[in-house]
């Protein structure tokens, strides 16, 4: 048989670190603190709303831009929680935030265009930039504060730079850009005529008591920012795959054209349910309280067990500094051994880093799990560590 001519971008690509570690957790019966998802079901009100919509509303193609009810609900949600003045014309519904990132990149990036990425980064960004014909250019962020360095950012910009991708709050570190950093990024984007693709899926999962501020709200950014959100992260319903892009109406129209040739549309019953959920502040408040409590269980438990946990202000994740915890393994060896020997899956931060000079002694653990599971995981890691 002749050898198939497959695209080497995918033929030679390994599975993601999340799929790898989750697969190990499943096969070994380990506690999965690697991939980020709650073990509990979404809020019952959302399930009821989805079932009601399935029984009483259309199950055929909704508009490609999204149901008007959800687009209105997204605009109202951001008006209430972030003070953004939006209308439905600014909102394009997508099948999850990763599809939103893909549509945004396809709409903005052309052949040989350069795109600034900040390491560590969600692992979908660089492959999607390359698939669009662009060139990812990495600007490193350093522990423990993961700050955005203006000098390094400006040094990375060339005449071919067309966009930057900002993940704020940042997965995997749980850090949040400061007001000064957001203002600086806006100045740089305006000066160099860059489009800012802002992955803000963790905007409602913050534990610092501060209101999320989007780069979209910075001076000069209204017409050059694509803000991406996720019902899966807001409601702890990751399998629903309901996301959206928010942008100036003219830019949103271009984004919609890219989106229509990806998934085209998103299940309508989930859109109606997400719209109801966004209109009820009590749902997000209850979820936030639960996640705040489980976060304390993991972070405090790890600290009491002698692990050095880096500060974080957001997301479902906490990071251990292995070197500061007197553990001599690098992050990849730690994660591979811990899942097999301690029965706990984690994510090595180096797997989300491209380029030279990245940290190799930091691992990420997910805390949006039942407290008893987190306590068991900490006990397993502590006992295993004692035998290293």
Contact indicator for 230, 99 with CB cutoff of 8 Å: no
Residue 7 confidence (pLDDT) = 82
pTM of the predicted model, to two decimals? 0.95
- Listed by start position, the domains of the chain span 8-41+283-386, 44-280
Q: Tell me the pairing of strands 243-246 and 362-366.
A: unpaired
Contact indicator for 256, 262 with CB cutoff of 8 Å: no
* SS3 call for 12: coil
Q: Which CATH number fits domain 8-41+283-386: 3.60.10.10, 3.90.1150.10, 3.40.50.1820, 1.10.3720.10?
A: 3.90.1150.10
Residue 2 confidence (pLDDT) = 60
pLDDT in tens, 310-328: 999 999 999 999 999 999 9
CA-CA distance, 271 to 261, in Å (whole number)?
A: 19
Q: Tell me the pairing of strands 344-345 and 31-32.
A: parallel
Residue 13 confidence (pLDDT) = 77
Tell which residue, 310, 298, 171, has the closest CA to residue 238: 171
Gyration radius of the chain over CA positions: 21
Residue 1 confidence (pLDDT) = 45
Residue 118 confidence (pLDDT) = 97
Exposure string of 106-123, with b = 16+ CB inside 10 Å and e = fewer, is bbbbeeebbbbbbbbbbb
* SS3 call for 124: coil
Q: Could you say which residues of the chain have pLDDT below 50?
A: 1
Q: Tell me the pairing of strands 91-94 and 243-246.
A: antiparallel
pLDDT in tens, 177-211: 999 999 999 999 999 999 999 999 999 999 999 99
Residue 3 confidence (pLDDT) = 67
Range 44-280: architecture per CATH: 3-Layer(aba) Sandwich (3.40)
- What average pLDDT does the structure give for the chain? 96
Q: Count how many residues are written for the chain.
A: 388
DSSP codes joined into one string, 136-153: EEEEE--TTTT---HHHH
Q: How far is CA 370 from the centre of its chain?
A: 21
């Amino acid at each position: 048989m002749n050898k198939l001519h497959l695209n080497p971008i995918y033929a030679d690509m390994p599975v993601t670190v999340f799929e790898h570690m989750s697969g190990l957790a499943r096969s070994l019966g380990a506690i999965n603190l690697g991939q980020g998802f709650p073990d509990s079901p979404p809020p019952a009100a959302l399930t009821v709303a989805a079932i009601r919509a399935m029984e009483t509303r259309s199950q055929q193609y909704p508009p490609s831009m999204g149901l008007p009810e959800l687009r209105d609900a997204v605009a109202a949600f951001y008006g209430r929680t972030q003070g953004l003045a939006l209308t439905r014309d600014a909102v394009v519904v997508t099948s999850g935030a990763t599809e939103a990132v893909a549509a945004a990149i396809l709409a903005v990036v052309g052949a040989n265009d350069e795109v600034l990425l900040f390491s560590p980064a969600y692992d979908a960004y660089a492959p999607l930039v390359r698939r669009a014909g662009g060139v990812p250019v990495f600007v490193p962020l350093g522990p423990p504060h993961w700050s955005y360095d203006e000098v390094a950012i400006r040094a990375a910009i060339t005449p071919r730079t067309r966009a930057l991708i900002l993940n704020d709050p940042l997965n995997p570190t749980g850090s949040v850009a400061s007001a000064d950093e957001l203002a600086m990024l806006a100045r740089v984007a305006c000066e160099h005529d860059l489009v800012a693709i802002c992955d803000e899926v963790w905007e409602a999962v913050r534990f610092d008591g501060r209101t999320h501020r989007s780069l979209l709200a910075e001076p000069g950014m209204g017409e050059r920012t694509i803000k991406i959100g996720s019902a899966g992260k807001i409601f702890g319903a990751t399998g629903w795959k309901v996301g959206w892009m928010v942008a100036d109406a003219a830019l949103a129209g271009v984004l919609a054209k890219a989106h229509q040739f990806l998934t085209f549309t998103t299940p309508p019953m989930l859109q109606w349910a997400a719209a109801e959920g966004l209109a009820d502040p009590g749902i997000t408040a209850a979820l936030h309280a639960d996640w705040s409590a489980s976060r304390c269980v993991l972070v405090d438990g790890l600290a009491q067990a002698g692990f050095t946990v880096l500060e974080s202000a957001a997301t479902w994740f906490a990071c251990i500094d292995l070197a500061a915890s007197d553990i001599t393994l690098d992050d990849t060896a730690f994660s591979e051994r811990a899942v097999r020997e301690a029965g706990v899956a984690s994510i090595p931060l180096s797997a989300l880093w491209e380029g030279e000079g990245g940290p190799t002694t930091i691992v990420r653990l997910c805390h949006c799990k039942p407290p008893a599971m987190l306590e068991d995981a900490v006990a397993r890691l502590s006992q295993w560590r004692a035998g290293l």
